[in-house]
Structure 1
Amino acid sequence: MKSRPIALLAYLYLCFFVATCSSGYISIQPVLSGEEKILGRVKGSACGFLGVLIPWYYFIPIQQNSKIERAYSDAIQQIPGTKAIKNITIEETWFWVIVGITQCNNFRRCRSMNLKIIGIILLFTFSCFSQPLIIPEDKNRKPSSNLITYPAYAKECGFLLLMFVPIGINDRFVNAYSKIVKQAKGGILSQITLQESWYYGFIGTGYCTTITAMVTKGDDE
């Protein structure tokens, strides 16, 4: 009988103090024919918020899971007729304040796509910047012969201890993409998608970046 209260407490802990959620897989670099016309640079942004009042309750997402999709959509709509964004750079800046963490995605075409996290100023603020991830345009390089295609997948995580101490947070984009490039082994990357997920664990929040792509190469490469 004594074990029941312990089991109940464990269940409540899992329900109230452990949360996880993720965005969908957002296509950030679809297959291009090489004949597309460059229309110019575009910039789109969208924000999400994670937290309510005190760090122990930073598990309530407010538009957190859709910010990548909304930012990309905003960028696409800047110039009528825009179908895709190329020559992408991803950079993350996070700002922590007492009431929570606000994340904003900024997408820009041709030169960069930035991921910025902006916080509301309240009493004190912690901030940090990530390494920029550059996803260059593939110059329509053709594999030499006998094409083979296979998927590539990479996931990198970081942890925000006590909501403001970054552990592996600032380089997860770069590390995930580096793994994809290694899996490609010189092949052409296409159909690149990006997914962001977060995991709440009471003493901090884990953030993970997942990148998928299709690799095309010749069997003699």
Structure 2
Amino acid sequence: MKFNKIFKVILLFVFAVYFTGCSGKPVTFDSVDPKLYADKKSEGRTISGEASGFQLLLFIPIGVNDRHKQAYDVLKGQANGDIITDIKVTESWTYAFVGTVYTTKFTATAYPRNK
């Protein structure tokens, strides 16, 4: 009887830890008024940001949950304060012998701000 209770507590703890590890950080993209860059359409440049994470043995996430935020931070860094528009998200995965590598890539267009 006592063993059954301990087993249930341990099982509940394992599931709680597992589900906590599966939560990611949301990324929100700012909306931009097209009037801010309408006269600079020819000055747009393509930028991209990429981040990866690894899922060990298909069970233990290592850097998987926050890869969207990391890729977006790289994208904003490449923009250098310029206006970011037309964001495209590409997800890919690659099998590695002891797990899987998940990659997120953001590609966007950056326009200089009107001064």
Q: What TM-score, normalized to structure 2?
A: 0.73
Report how far residue 146 of structure 1 moved.
5.6
> CA separation in 2, counterparts of 1:130 and 1:196?
15
Q: What's 1:174 paired with?
A: 69
Q: Say yes or no: does 1:205 pair with 2:115.
A: no
Report how far residue 194 of structure 1 moved.
0.7
Structure 1 gap ranges (5+): 1-123
Are the aligned partners of 2:40 and 2:111 in contact in 1 as well (CA < 8 Å)? no
Report 1:120-199 matches (<5 A). 126-127=18-19, 128-140=22-34, 142-143=36-37, 148-199=43-94
User: RMSD of the TM alignment (CA)?
Assistant: 2.4
The CA deviation string for residues 59-82 of structure 1, in whole angstroms up to 9 with x for no partner, is: xxxxxxxxxxxxxxxxxxxxxxxx
Are the aligned partners of 2:82 and 2:110 in contact in 1 as well (CA < 8 Å)? yes
Report how far residue 140 of structure 1 moved.
3.3
> CA separation in 1, counterparts of 2:94 and 2:111?
33
Change (3 A) 1:201 1:136: same
Where in structure 1 do 4 or more consecutive aligned residues deviate above 2 Å? 124-127, 143-147
Change (3 A) 1:146 1:129: closer
Q: Flag the structure with higher helix content.
A: 2
Matched residue type, 2:31: E
Change (3 A) 1:144 1:211: closer
> CA separation in 2, counterparts of 1:170 and 1:206?
12
Structure 2 gap ranges (5+): 1-13
Residue identity (%): 32
Report how far residue 183 of structure 1 moved.
1.2
Q: What TM-score, normalized to structure 1?
A: 0.40
Are the aligned partners of 1:141 and 1:188 in contact in 2 as well (CA < 8 Å)? no
Structure with the greater relative contact order (CA < 8 A, sep ≥ 6): 1 or 2?
2
Change (3 A) 1:141 1:171: farther
